[in-house]
Structure formats: structure tokens, C-alpha cells
Chain A
Amino acid sequence: MITLKVNGEVRELDVDPEMPLLWALRDVLGLTGTKYGCGQAQCGACTVHLDGEVVRSCVTPVRRAAGHEVTTIEGLSPDGSHPLQRVWCDLAVPQCGFCQAGQIMTAAALLASNPKPSDTDIERSLAGNLCRCGTYLRIRAAVKKAAGIPEE
């Protein structure tokens, strides 16, 4: 039995300790906001926070989360009102939307540690989150707007 906290709630999971955290979140706990993209930590669609740090849940064994706190897109705010989520809507950032939960989770970790990131900071931190629709410019604009950085 693996005990962990997911979005503030203690959960006990009777699963293989090597099960990818993504499987546990989606298939066992029904938290399907986190997406399966490549399964190889190459795309970032499965990004969640483990004790506030970004991890790709598709390659993270659930045992690594035992005794720790996982935050998914569902837990980023109680009602979807995290500054990034609001700006994401304002600027209509998503196109197909599949990668956006991962993009927002990485951006949230960035802003938590660096409230006023430069363009370079944003590009470096989001380098592991791919968007096949090519919404990168809107993503960068949204991160800067959420950070209160004026448009150039």
C-alpha cells in the first residue's frame, strides 16, 4: 500500500510500486486532467508537481511519491482561478489543448520560484513542454502577463 497526498487529500493506493505515477493518477484516482503524451519524458504533457517540483509523471514510479505531496492541474487552485489559468483563458492560449495542463503546471512551478522571469527563464523552464499546435508565443505572453510583466 502506498500512501501519498494528492491535491491536499491523503490517498492510499494498492498498486505496483513501479506503476508510473501518471497511471495511478488517471486510471486509479480518475484525475484525467494530466495527459499521456509520449511516455518517455520527452513532451511534458504529463507534468505534475511532486513537493512543488516538476516531474514527468509518465516516468515517475508511484513509489517515489510515497509520503510526498502531488499536485495535478485539478489541484492547482480550488476553482480554476490560479492566475495562470485566468490568463490562459484571457489570451485564449490553447489550440487543441492537449499539452496545456503540462504547460501550466511547469509555468506555475517557474512562477513559484521566480515571480518575475525573463524571456530566457521562461524558454529554459518550458523547454521540456512541447506544443504541436505551436502556441509557444501565446504561452510566453501568458506567463509574463500572469507574472505582471508589462507587454513590450
Chain B
Amino acid sequence: MREHRGAPGRCVLVVAVIALACGCTRRQPETTSKGGSSLPQVSAGALRGPEAFAQIQNRADRSRALFAEASRVFLHPRCVNCHPDGDTPHQGMDLSVHDPPVVRGPDDKGVVGVQCSSCHQDHNLELARVPGAPEWHLAPLAMAWVGKSPRAICEQMKDPARNGARTLAQIVDHNAHDRLVAWGWNPGHGREPAPGTQEQLGQLIAAWVESGAECPTEGATP
């Protein structure tokens, strides 16, 4: 978590202190594709890899920026639709209410008669257009992402009480390898996939953890 301070680090610190004293600093968005950042431009469907963030010298700022980039995946409809802030999943790019009107149920897998597995299989059905992946289910309410900021999602993801009692290493593995998470990039039937690739997301989250797992500032958007 501690800053590695070599001579260049001290220079940066001195400049920052002077700038702060002058009242002329204003935190740039953690990542942005416009204005004030030298991060490379990417399309809406692409992710910046961890290497794009190496230019951010301050370790904590780099960590915040890495998570903000990853939050572009978390906040994409392919992912957020099944992290509802209520008892009903969403669908589509506009977060429509799931049709049929299913409910979360006691174990986040629906209720008798309309369990997730009543309709969703372990793979996408191209002809019927029903999406599917292994262990199809809703994220628990504690892991709700709908309406949440990148900072709120970050704090949630680090909190064992709200992340399924996972360590940060397990969070990296979950993002990088979970087969239901993988569906976000293989949604079937012309659905827009989440940005980038699951491998890139795993790399971003690994780099975020390695850089101290700092959370973006409130109000920061990817």
C-alpha cells in the first residue's frame, strides 16, 4: 500500500505540494477519454490494458484509475443487469425489467416455478435467443451494482461481508476466470458484449490489487 519513494517520487511530491498550495490542482477523472488525461483513447467496446496506466506515477492514483477502467465492465448492461438493486433482474441495454417477471427468491436463483434454471441453460440458445451460462443466477443483493458509483462498487468488492467472503486474490480469480462472468463477452444473439475481454478485466483487477486496491474518489466516472 505504501508509496515507493525514490528521488523522482520526491520531485513529484514537491510539485504536488506546491501546486496544492497554489490552489491550482483539481483532480482529473480517474480515467477519461477526453480532456486532461494522456491515457490512450479507446472505443466504447474496448478496454485499456494495465500498461496504459503505467504512466501514472502515483501508486494510489494508478490504482484508482485501474479500478475506474474496470468499472466500465461492471456498469455495462451485460453485467449490471444481473446485479439488481432489488428483487427483479433487468435485461436489454436499457435495464428493462426481466420478462417474464421473475423474482430473486431465497437463494438468488428464483422461486419454484420460475427458477433461473427453468429457462436458462448452460449455454446460449441461438434459435430461442435465451441467454445461458453455467450457474446462471443473480448476484446477491449485497452485490447490487445498479445505480452504484465506481467507488461504491469498489468498496463493496473489497468488503468480505459483501463480496462472498473473498480475498482480493479470489476477487482477481473470479473476475478473470468465472464462467458466468465470462458470459459478459459471449452474450449470444447479437447482444452487445461487455467492453474488452475477460482476460483484460482480469489483468486490470490484478494490477489494481497490486497497486494497493485503492477505490476511485466519489463522483469519479470511467
A-side interface residues toward B, CB under 8 Å? 39-42, 53-56, 58-61, 64, 106, 109-110, 113-114, 121, 124-129
Contacts and interface: CB of A to CB of B under 8 A. Distances in A.
24 contacts: A39-B128, A41-B118, A53-B115, A54-B112, A54-B114, A55-B119, A56-B118, A59-B121, A59-B125, A59-B128, A60-B121, A106-B113, A110-B112, A113-B112, A114-B112, A121-B111, A124-B103, A124-B111, A124-B113, A125-B112, A125-B113, A127-B103, A128-B119, A129-B113
Contacts of A129: 113
A80 B115 CA distance: 26
A84 B83 CA distance: 37
Nearest to B125: A59
Contact of A58 (B99, B101, B102, B128): B128
Contact of A128 (B118, B121, B125, B127): B118
Contacts, number: 64
A40 B112 contact: no
Interface bracket on B: 10 to 19
Nearest to A43: B100
B126 to A, nearest CB: 11
Contacts of B129: 40
B130 A125 contact: no
Nearest to A125: B113
